Structure formats: C-alpha cells, structure tokens
Amino acid sequence: MKSVLSVLRWVGSAREWLLLLSLAALAAGTYAHARRVAADRDAWASWGKQVCAFAGTTTDAAIVEVDTAKGKRKVAKARGQVCGEAVQDLAAYRARSQAATARVLGDAQAARAAKTNTDSGTAAANAADRRRAVTKMERLDAQLGDDDRVDGNYFAGINDLGGLR
C-alpha cells in the first residue's frame, strides 16, 4: 500500500512534466498524421494529373467555347471539370466500343452456328446419298450377266457412287 501511495505522490508532484510529455506525444502523433494526409493528398493529385494527361487535358480551370442553339459562347469551367468531362467521354467511348465488339462477335457466332447447322444437314444428306449409291451399285453388280456387259445405267451408278451426279 505504501508503494502505491508513494507512486501517487510522485505523480502529483510531477504532474506538469507528465502533462508536458502527453502533449508532446499528442503533437507528434498529430504531426505524423498530418504528414500522412499530405502525402496521400499529393499522391491523389499526382494520379489525377496523370489521368488528365492521358485524357488529353489538364486539371486547370479553363474557359471553353460551347455550341448552343444561339451560337457559340464561352463558358468558365471549374478546376478539374474539363478533365472530368474528357474522362467521362473516354469511358462512354469505351462502353460503346465494347458493346459494338460484343455485337459483332455475337453476329459472327450466330453466323458460325447457322453455317454449322447447314453443314450438318448437308453432311447428313451426302451420307444418305452415298448409302443409296452403294446400294444401287451393289444391285447393279448383282444384275450383271456372265458376259460382264454393262449399259448406261451401270455407268450412271458408277457416277452416283463417285459423287458425280
């Protein structure tokens, strides 16, 4: 108990020093936080200037001529407004071009699917024609006499088998 009382007496006598130390720590923390905020602000400002440079503008305030129904007139734009509009225009262009690309790719895919369906139908018809030609040729072979004489019908069967008809 005596040790607690002695610590409390010492704290009471050194109250001014403890207050000074706590104020110094608070000031150091505030300074460090302010430096971090300034660094973040500078980084964002640099990023904004870079984005504006990529968009082909600056972050400065500007006076711009605008077409209206009554003709051209000059309009004062606030700092960063011209850049913001340029970035919005680029974003709209990107969205339009991506939509057009998707539309073109969709049309190409639909055309390819239609061609595939047509090719599948054609392949099935060709397979049926081949089977019919083979069957016809086997029938004609079976009808051949002992002298192996053939007529025009036999040659037509050979042409069917070869895909010439």
List the one residue out of 89, 59, 96, 94 whose CA is nearest residue 77.
59
The pLDDT-based confidence of 67 (bands split at 50, 70, 90) is: confident
On the question of pLDDT at 50 being above 90, the answer is: yes
pTM, rounded to two decimals: 0.53
* Mean pLDDT of all residues in 75-86: 88
Confidence (pLDDT) at 165: 64
The pLDDT > 90 percentage for the chain reads 43
Question: What is the C-alpha to C-alpha distance for residues 51 and 58, in angstroms, rounded to an integer?
Answer: 9
CA distances from 155 to 36, 104, 145 (A): 95, 50, 15
Q: What is the mean pLDDT of residues 8-12?
A: 73
